[in-house]
């Protein structure tokens, strides 16, 4: 963990200066900045989505970032995972991420989770988080994160990108009749073969989606309307966004029980 500022009830002069450009912004301001400082955001997956999301959230002054990834940094990651440096190849991603985020903003406390979380560990982390960012790339993990967020009514910001297309959705299980990730992507038992390793992906497409995850997290923590339960689809070829309103699946085994 790293921290130079432990008083979460106020902002130091250095913090007021550091965050001055967002403190000037009408819907944010001092109260929102304090909420950022008091928040614990759990980021699961520190790859192409988690990199920009973590960088923006650390820069914006989120008080605690809990960083979960059990992979080591590979040379092929650096094309899109902008959180890391070439000198960090073979390091544990979560530790390398923590080091780089602390260098960016020493006010941010980081908790490093470099082991794969079991169901119990995942639930404990989700229960402690104000917002969870699903930045993973496999469906089983996505379902497990979703189930934990539904159970603990923790806000879940998910995104995915493959090829030239990105998807983004914000779920708030604390709302009555909220749909969940598994309403949107029912578990048919099938697992797609396609991922970044087989289909390829461009860094900036992941960057767009990770950026949306950070943006939505800040808006939600500030108490602003953040377009919940809407699938946002980004077409990187034509620069088009489409939005699809989601509703709860009454047969969903996760949220409709
Ligand atoms: Zn559901």
- One DSSP character per residue, 140-162 reads HHHHHHHHHHHHHT-EEEEEEEE
Q: Which of 8-12, 129-133, 151-155 has the lowest mean pLDDT?
A: 8-12
Tell me the pTM: 0.95
pLDDT tens-digit map of 42-94:
999 999 999 999 999 999 999 999 999 999 999 999 999 999 999 999 999 99
* Residues contacting 45, CB < 8 A, separation 6+: 68, 69, 134, 135, 136, 137, 141
Supply the pLDDT for residue 7: 77
Ligand 1 centroid from CA 167, angstroms: 18
Ligand 1 centroid from CA 36, angstroms: 28
Q: Given strand 155-162, what is the order of strands in its sheet? A: 109-113, 64-68, 40-44, 131-134, 155-162, 165-171, 230-235, 240-245
Ligand 1 centroid from CA 246, angstroms: 10
Mean pLDDT of 92-103: 98
Ligand 1 centroid from CA 52, angstroms: 28
DSSP state at residue 116 = P
Per-residue CA distances from 55 to 81, 92, 210, 219, 233 (Å) = 11, 17, 10, 16, 23
Mean pLDDT of 165-169: 97
**Average pLDDT score, the chain:** 94
Catalytic residues: 196
Q: To 5 degrees, how large is the angle CA 29–CA 226–CA 147?
A: 120
Mean pLDDT of 26-33: 94
pLDDT tens-digit map of 108-143:
999 999 999 999 999 999 999 999 999 999 999 999
Ligand 1 centroid from CA 195, angstroms: 24
Ligand 1 centroid from CA 45, angstroms: 22
Paired with 167 in beta bridges are: 160, 233
Ligand 1 centroid from CA 24, angstroms: 39
Supply the pLDDT for residue 11: 96
Closest CA relative to residue 133, chosen from 97, 164, 102: 97
Local confidence band at 226 (pLDDT 50, 70, 90 cut-offs): confident
- Count CB neighbours of 152 within 10 A: 17
* Residues contacting 158, CB < 8 A, separation 6+: 133, 134, 142, 146, 167, 168, 169, 170, 171, 181, 213
């Amino acid at each position: 963990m790293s921290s130079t500022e432990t008083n979460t009830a106020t902002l130091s002069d250095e913090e007021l200066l550091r965050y001055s450009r967002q403190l000037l912004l009408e819907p944010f301001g001092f109260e929102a900045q304090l909420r950022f400082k008091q928040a614990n955001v759990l980021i699961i997956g520190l790859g192409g989505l988690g990199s920009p999301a973590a960088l923006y959230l650390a820069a914006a002054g989120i008080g605690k970032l809990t960083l979960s990834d059990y992979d080591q940094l590979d040379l092929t990651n650096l094309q899109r995972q902008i959180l890391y440096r070439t000198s960090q190849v073979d390091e544990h991603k979560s530790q390398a991420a923590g080091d780089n985020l602390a260098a960016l903003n020493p006010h941010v406390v980081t908790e490093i989770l470099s082991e794969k979380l079991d169901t119990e560990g995942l639930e404990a982390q989700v229960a402690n988080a104000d917002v969870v960012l699903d930045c993973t790339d496999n469906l089983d993990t996505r379902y497990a994160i979703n189930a934990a967020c539904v159970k603990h009514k923790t806000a879940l910001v998910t995104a995915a990108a493959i090829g030239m297309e990105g998807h983004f959705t914000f779920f708030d299980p604390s709302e009555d009749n909220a749909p969940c990730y598994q309403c949107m992507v029912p578990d048919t038992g099938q697992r797609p073969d396609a991922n970044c390793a087989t289909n390829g992906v461009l860094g900036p497409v992941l960057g767009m989606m990770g950026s949306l995850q950070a943006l939505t997290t800040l808006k939600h923590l500030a108490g602003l309307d953040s377009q919940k339960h809407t699938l946002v689809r980004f077409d990187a070829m034509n620069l088009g966004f489409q939005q699809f309103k989601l509703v709860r699946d009454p047969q969903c085994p996760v949220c409709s029980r």
